[in-house]
Chains A and B, each alone.
Chain A
């Protein structure tokens, strides 16, 4: 398996771990200060509405991001960390783009439908829809960092006869 752009992959991996830990909020560290005073909330203040009513709670503290944002970050992080395995599959950039677009649209429809009162979404439904969006966005990078090649053995005298990722 070839590992290219390793510095970028490792840098983004570190950043994603930081994002996830921060997104989980002060409850993870047993912080007792009001949530709006916690550094985790301050970091995400310009990026998420952070409504406690629409967030999961840990140890009596709301997370620093809403359930949909948590889903987006965790979905993206999971597909990012699974890139070595996902590189087994050949995914067309255009197909991934279409799927991501559909997921974004699904989230927009969910938000609009909820605001207009057509349905009432829940913490879990928002988490799942956000997760799907983040997961599919991570699929853009299959084949960018890891490339799996299979070397033949036996009669082929070690020549490369199959290249899974074209």
Chain B
């Protein structure tokens, strides 16, 4: 334990690695989300509850979880020092938080560039539900709920609430894996 503390205390700061990896993956997650949204808006309503955007999702599943690994790789490569699993976990956790925040900030910024995007998405969803086989009453109910959900999605608080936990946790895990893969070996450190 004392060994681990010594390693942690003497190691250089990891914030540069956290910032770089968080920024890169925040941008990737934002861009992919944007592609998915515009693909959805520009697709023909099929009446299915699934959107045709799924193709992108199939390829990029879980990509936002690998920021922690990139951050630990960068940290190990930059400083060439041994670091503990706990440090890897912290690097991953903070990277996940940065990813979520960068994604939210870019999303908010994009609404200034294209303020009608959400409305277009709601219009598409409404057309999609109208084309479905649901009963009229159920259609209206679904449209109301979906519109409310999509509008709420743009609020910063909502985005933080849903974005931070999972990005944080999964990047914590990949940060630990990164620590195992990239950290310089330290024989005394179990």
In the complex, which residues of chain B have a beta carbon less than 8 angstroms from the beta carbon of A15? 169, 172-173
Alpha-carbon gap, A97 to B165, bound state (A): 27
The residue in chain B whose Cβ has the minimal distance to the Cβ of A97 is B181
Report whether over half of chain B's contact residues are helix, strand or loop; otherwise say mixed: helix
Contacts A12-B176, A69-B62, A144-B180: A49 and B85 contacting too (C-beta < 8 A)?
no
Q: Assess the A42–B162 pair: CB atoms within 8 A.
A: yes
**Chain B CB within 8 A of A128 CB:** no
Query: Is B145 located at the chain interface by the 8 A CB criterion?
Result: yes
The listed residue (B4, B55, B65) touching A47 by CB distance below 8 A is B65
For chain B, the bracket of interface size reads 35 or more
8 Å CB interface, B112-167 against A: 142, 145-146, 149, 162-163, 165-167
Docked complex Cα distance between A45 and B57 (Å): 10
Q: Tell whether, in the assembled complex, residue A137 and residue B177 are in contact, meaning their CB atoms are under 8 Å apart.
A: yes
Whether B57 pairs with A48 at a CB distance below 8 angstroms is: yes
Contacts of A143 in B (CB 8 A): 190
Contact in complex: B180, A93 (CB < 8 Å)? yes
Say yes or no: is A81 at the interface (Cβ < 8 Å to chain B).
no
A145: min CB distance to chain B, Å: 9
Residue from A43, A53, A111, A137 within 8 A of B162 (CB atoms): A43
Contact of A141 among B4, B57, B176 (CB under 8 A): B176
Contact in complex: A72, B162 (CB < 8 Å): no
Give the residue name and chain of the B residue nearest to A140 (CB). B180
CB distance from B7 to the nearest CB of A (A): 13
What residues on B are CB-neighbors of A76 within 8 Å? 173
| B41-100, CB < 8 A from A | 49-50, 54-62, 64-65, 84-86, 89, 100
Of listed B56, B163, B180, residue having the most chain A CB within 10 A:
B180
Q: Which residue of A has the minimal Cβ distance to B55?
A: A115
What residues make up the interface of B, taking CB atoms closer than 8 Å to A? 1, 4, 29, 33, 49-50, 54-62, 64-65, 84-86, 89, 100, 103, 142, 145-146, 149, 162-163, 165-167, 169-170, 172-173, 176-177, 180-181, 190
